[in-house]
Structures are given as structure tokens and as C-alpha cells.
Amino acid sequence: MATKVLMPQLGESVTEGTISKWLVKVGDMVNKYDPLAEVSTDKVNAEVPSTVAGRVSEIVVAEGETVAIGTLILYIEETGTANGGEPPSSASQQPTAAGTKQESPPAAAPIAAAQPGVQAAPAPATQERGKPRYSPAVMQLAQQHGIDLSRVNGSGLGGRVTRKDVQAIIDAGGQQPVSTPTPTQAPEISAAAVSREAAPPTVSAAASTAEVSTAPGDQIIPVSSIRRTIANRMVQSKHEAPHAWTMVEVDVTKLVNFRNQAKDEFKRKEGLNLTFLPFFIKAVVESLKEYPMMNSTWAGDKIIVKKNINISIAVATEDALFVPVIKDADQKSILGIAKSVEDLATRSRAGKLTMDDMSGGTFTVNNTGSFGSVQSMPIINSPQAAILSVEAIVKRPVVIDDMIAIRSMVNLCLSLDHRVLDGLICGRFLQSVKQRLESIGPDTKLY
């Protein structure tokens, strides 16, 4: 068996040595510790002693050659001696080093302490496809270029979508549009999205119409992420729910008188204006308690009747439509509802709505009357079952007791999801709202 003899380390910070002279040649017999060669380094000249007894079988490094510490310099064919070759002490090349932990017991504690620091960090938990986590770089690129990350296959660990994956899609020209409308991108209607510049994204095929040509003088407005989201939601709502529509006329003369009477003191005491909307919302909420089916959702194989009554109200700003929610409106008085409306409207316009403000609505009340409309056909706020528009209050001649009188009249227009509701229940619901509104008068409690 041929033992390898390696270039030993002959001093601190010495990293290589030169064989200045071989003291043996192939075929020579040597005893253990006999000098084999003279080695020179820039710090010291020394001899390399043999580590075994035997016959020199092969000289690997020539005289005058400089090699790194630990390099093989010759082979010795061992003859007969009891102890096997101990490899020379070039510690940096020692392959058995890792196994010698048991040499010094006091060292065991430091190793245990050092272990956590030195071991490679445990592999990150594999991401389940359903709960992807995206790095900041991936999110930024996806938002800038309108990439739908749920459709990107990740090449990273555990299927992670990496920056390179997204960049590759961008370089290849972007994603292909889908045939169904993209699912609600609710997070984008957060306050941050309003102020963020969004490059024109790819529009889904269902949302885009046939090829539209532009003529000189036409103004091209890029679709912002808000506008795109509104578009997608409207399409989805109309596509999924068969809309039916009905309307009643309500005589709110007494309400108008009452409100005109009460508004100054209300303003003085509460610090906010008493508008008509809180009265309408209150009437709707009370009627919803009477007809809970109106406060429900179609869920495929079941209808879920919601217990909480969270009223979504539509707030229009210059370039967007927000639909914040008054939570638990049935637990609020007229004052409470008025305060909620004021708060949500203000924060909508300031772009400060939170995700919580925008979610959980069960029925929508739409104040179309504020822009003078007397009739409208609102689109249901999916996944709710119905939406009520309150039109403008207009003085009209009407017939009462076979006589003509001038009364303040308002139309209430209801769009309903005909999978869940039908005319009968909606009609009764509207009658209930009508009666409540027509009975508002000087005795109505605001608190």
C-alpha cells in the first residue's frame, strides 16, 4: 500500500514551499523520520521527515518546484511496520477533521453553542400554491406591468415566483389576456393605490370591446387601476346575477318638513349637517330586519342570509367610485348613521379608507338623487342580493283624496338578483320602506 506524503506547513502564515533538494530517489529504502527532502519557504528552510518506513515508489513534485501546503509530493510503499501511516499534520487539508469532535470534551459545549450559528439556515418552508408569498421586487414589477401573479409559475424554491420569473414575462411582452373577467382585485382600492401611478395594464378579453380605432383629436386616457377594478366588478356582477328592477314612489312631505325644522338645532348640537340619506338608510335597515331575505347572498348551491346588516353606500369622487360600508347599521340611530356617512364620505375623498371599511357589505343604498336623478337602474354590488337607489326629492302635483296637492315625492329604485329574490318579496320590502318613510314626522326620534 502506497502512503502519500504531503507538503507540510512549516510556519504560521506560510502557504507554500519549494522542494530545493530531494534527499531520496525512487527505490530508496527509508525509515520513519528519515529526511526525504529539503524544503524552502520565505520564512524558514527545513527538512521533510518521512512519516512511514518503506520504499520510495514515486516522486511527484520535481526539484525546484513550488507547491501549496498539503500537496502530494511523493509516495512511499510501506514495508512491514506495525503502525499504518499517520498522515502528516497539514491541518487545513484534513478530511477527518470533522469527525474528531470527540477528542476534547470541553470543546463539546462550544461546538453545541456554535452549531446553530454555523449550520446552514433551515430551508424556507415550502410555499403552498394557495398561499403564495411575493417578494417586494416581484410585487413592484407585477404592479408596474400589470402581471397577474396567480398565473405565473415560479422557478424558485418550493415554486416561489422570483424576480427573474416576472422579468422574463415582461421581456416576452407581458401576459396573455384571460377569457373570463379577472377576479376582484379589492386590495388595489386601498388608499395607496389611488395615489400610485399605474401604467396602462392589459385589459381582460371579456372587458375589452371589439377593435376601437382612434381618430385625430381623440383623447386617450389610460385606464387606472381603480377604473379597471370598477369595470371588472361591474362586468362580473351583471354577468353573474340576472338583474330585475322595480320602483315605488314615496311621499316624503312630512320628512322634508321635519328635517327642515330639525336641521339647525341638529347642526348646532352635533356639529354636522342633517341630510336626508340617514333617514332613508334607517328605513331600509328596519325593513331589512323585517325581510331578512333581502340581506342575503347567492352562494351556488345555497343562499346565505346574513345576520349583520352592513350598509354599503356609494361615494363618488372626481375620478372614482368608492363603496364604503356602515357596519351594523341596525344598531345605530339616525345620528349614528349620519355620523358614519359623514366619516366615510370624508375619508373616501381623502383616500384614507381601510380594507375593513370597504368589505363586509350586505345591502347597498345608492344616493343617486344627489345628482338630480329621478330614476336609475343600479348594478348590484356583488355578492349582495339587491341595491336600492334613492332618487331626488322633487315637488310634484299628486292626487290625494281625489284632490290635487303639491307634495315632495321621491322614487326608490330597486335592482334585485333574480336568483335569490323575486317581485313579491321585493314589492313587500319596498312597501315597508315606503310606509316607514311616509310616517316620519315631528315625533321621529333622531337618537
Considering beta carbons, is residue 141 or 189 the nearer one to another protein? 141
418 tagged catalytic: yes
DSSP label at 186?
A: G
- The residues near 444 (Cβ < 8 Å, ≥ 6 apart) are 258, 334
In whole angstroms, how close is the CB of 14 to another protein at the nearest point?
Answer: 7
In whole angstroms, how close is the CB of 52 to another protein at the nearest point?
Answer: 21
In whole angstroms, how close is the CB of 227 to another protein at the nearest point?
Answer: 24
Considering beta carbons, is residue 159 or 427 the nearer one to another protein? 159
Distance separating alpha carbons of residues 141 and 194, to the nearest angstrom: 18
Among residues 34, 145, 243, 418, the one annotated as catalytic is 418
DSSP for 294-360 reads: GGEEE-SS-EEE-SS--EEE-EE-SS-EE--EETTGGG--HHHHHHHHHHHHHHHHHT---HHHHS-
Considering beta carbons, is residue 15 or 208 the nearer one to another protein? 15
301 tagged catalytic: no
Binding site for another protein (CB under 8 A): 12-16, 42-43, 89, 91-92, 94, 97-98, 100-101, 103-104, 107, 110-111, 113-114, 117-118, 120-121, 123-124, 135-140, 156-157, 160, 162-164
Query: Helix, strand, or coil here: 222?
Result: coil
- DSSP collapsed to 3 states, 72-113: EEEEEEECCCCCCCCCCCCHHHCCCHHHHHHHCHHHHHHHHH
In whole angstroms, how close is the CB of 163 to another protein at the nearest point?
Answer: 4
Query: Helix, strand, or coil here: 423?
Result: helix
In whole angstroms, how close is the CB of 107 to another protein at the nearest point?
Answer: 6
In whole angstroms, how close is the CB of 11 to another protein at the nearest point?
Answer: 9
Report the number of secondary-structure helices (H) and strands (E) in the chain. Answer: 10, 19
Cβ atoms of 298 and 420 closer than 8 Å: yes
Amino acid at 391: E
Q: Identify the sign of the CA torsion 276, 282, 283, 284.
A: positive
Distance separating alpha carbons of residues 340 and 354, to the nearest angstrom: 14
Q: Which three cell numbers stand for residue 113?
A: 453553542
Considering beta carbons, is residue 13 or 179 the nearer one to another protein? 13
Considering beta carbons, is residue 124 or 242 the nearer one to another protein? 124
| H or E stretch covering 68 | strand 66-68
Amino acid at 126: T
Considering beta carbons, is residue 18 or 296 the nearer one to another protein? 18
* Residues assigned a catalytic role: 418, 422
